[in-house]
Amino acid sequence: MDTDPTARTGIDEHPGTGTAPGADTETPDPFRAVESELGMLMRRSHAISRQLARTVHPDVDPSASPLLARIAKTPDVRASELAALFGVGRGTMSRQLARLDELGLIERRADPDDSRGQLIRLTELGTRRSEDVRATGRAFLRTALRSWSDEDTALLAAQLARLNLDLGVPPDLD
């Protein structure tokens, strides 16, 4: 079995439509196409994240890479802020941070403004590992998108930023 997370699925679909060639499609539903493409992107992203996480440490959860990147970007961040950003509970974040602490990737210090809180930053080892993972991830993207123009890549980045912003707003289901 092919374990390359970037390998094609073998399903002969028209990109972006989620339909097989020759299928009767009066008017393609763009939301169905977005759902299909996002689903594939998330599956591939998860597989790639697992591989990248192993470069940090063999026992690190795939969620550690973006967590380390965020801590690197915002040193002295609170666990509650990280939990809110990643959309997980405080208990989940506490367990993830405890594991990173055990591995020597983060350090905690008392929050001078709140005696109950802790501020989190990367250790020297955590900084090196985080930079290595990000460099590996960027190299992967450069290879995967090598046929894209700089303009197309910038457009993708802008559209993904817009999508992330919109997805960050909880839907009104009433």
Model confidence over 44-80: pLDDT tens digits?
Answer: 988 888 888 777 777 777 778 889 999 999 999 999 9
The percentage of the chain sitting over the pLDDT mark of 90, rounded to a whole number, equals 53
b (16+ CB within 10 A) / e for 34-50: eebeeeeeeeeeebbbe
25-36: average pLDDT: 86
pTM for this one?
0.68
| Residue 155 pLDDT greater than 70, yes or no | yes
| Residue 93 pLDDT greater than 80, yes or no | yes
Helices (H), 1-123: 30-56, 64-73, 79-86, 90-102
pLDDT of residue 13: 47
| Residue 82 pLDDT greater than 90, yes or no | yes
CATH number of 48-138: 1.10.10.10
Q: Cβ of 123: how many Cβ atoms within 10 Å?
A: 15
- Average pLDDT of the chain is 83
Position 26 confidence tier, pLDDT thresholds 50, 70, 90: low
| Residue 156 pLDDT greater than 80, yes or no | yes
Copy the structure tokens of residue 120. Answer: 């989190």
